[in-house]
Structure 1
Amino acid sequence: MLEKFIKPESVNVDLQSTDKEEVFEELNEILISLCPSLDRAEVLKALLEREQKMTTGIIPGIAIPHAISDKIKEPVFAIGKSKKGIDFDSLDKKPVHIIFMILFPADDTSLHLNIMQRLALLFNKTEFYNSVMEKLTGEQIVNTILAIEESL
């Protein structure tokens, strides 16, 4: 399922951000590069508003900031990896190192829920976190994600 949406150009393997707002801006640039018709400020605002409702740092070491847009027809992913870790106000109070930022189309709630469920299963695989953290390129990360997804 995820192979339709996750591409090497969706991945930043060396996030430079040191805090949550910076990482939102940094990953937002990937979303905009993949979908140039999107309004940068509008997307950022939607993501930050969603995050203010409740942290998306709900899985140890991983955050899933996401929002809805009526300007897209299919989900757009930006994936980032931070060696240093980013304070994400996570439920476990620890920094996150892997961030899946997703913009979902407004008119497909079913796809939204299916992707979030698929990601939850993926993140619960014991090898997921370490496997992604040891990869050095976007292509390696995508291949790892898709291989682990295939094993579900």
Structure 2
Amino acid sequence: MKIVEFLRPDAVIGTLSGQSGQAVLSELTRPLVAIQKVDGQKLLDTLLEREKLGSTGIGEGVAIPHGKVPNLPGLMASFGRSIPGVDFRAIDGKPTHLFFALFAPENSAGAHLKALARISRIFKNPAFREAILKAANEAEIYRLIEAEDAKY
């Protein structure tokens, strides 16, 4: 499974404006509402419920908010970058800069877990994270994700 199978270029946000976790999560749902014609409030509620269980901020400036949503046609994702960073209650206590939101259909445990593992794996690379932070725009961010994804 490749990330580019569920992340579209027009679901990449080069500059997140949200300064709180909830604002960022709301921002991450917007491209999916426009692209996939899904219920944005349902997506946001899914992410907020998951965050109540514990932060999806995995450290090193990365968060992978995720959840399962009824009646989704398949995996879908959005990506956002916050240069100043957001307090997302990450496990290392540092600001979070890179947000990869993942949504899966209710009955897709295997695909959901594989996608989470793949996203986590590529974002473990410090040089890759740094390149995304320095990227000029959304198209460059997408190309970097696509290239890193192709290595595995």
TM-score interval (norm. to shorter):
over 0.9
Cα shift at 1:126: 2.8
- What's the C-alpha RMSD, in Å, of the aligned pairs? 1.1
- How far apart in 2 are the matches of 1:43 and 1:151? 30
Counting strand residues as a fraction of each chain, which structure ranks higher?
2
- How far apart in 2 are the matches of 1:62 and 1:126? 11
Cα shift at 1:50: 0.5
Unpaired runs of at least 5, structure 2: none
Unpaired runs of at least 5, structure 1: none
TM-score where L is the length of structure 2: 0.94
Aligned to 2:48, the other structure's residue is in SS state helix
Amino acid corresponding to residue 112 of structure 1 in structure 2:
H
- How far apart in 1 are the matches of 2:108 and 2:59? 25
Aligned to 1:16, the other structure's residue is in SS state coil
Aligned to 2:97, the other structure's residue is in SS state strand
Pairwise mapping of residues 27-106 of structure 1 onto structure 2 (< 5 A)? 27-36=28-37, 38-106=38-106
- How far apart in 2 are the matches of 1:74 and 1:137? 27
User: Does 2:128 align with 1:124?
Assistant: no
Cα shift at 1:59: 2.6
Contact 1:12–1:138 (8 Å) recurs in 2: yes
Aligned length: 151
TM-score where L is the length of structure 1: 0.94
Amino acid corresponding to residue 125 of structure 1 in structure 2:
N
Question: Deviation above 6 Å: which 4+ runs of structure 1?
Answer: none
- How far apart in 1 are the matches of 2:26 and 2:116? 22
After superposition, what is the alpha-carbon deviation per residue over 1:110-150, rounded to whole angstroms, capped at 9, x for unaligned? Answer: 11111111112111123221011111222211111111122
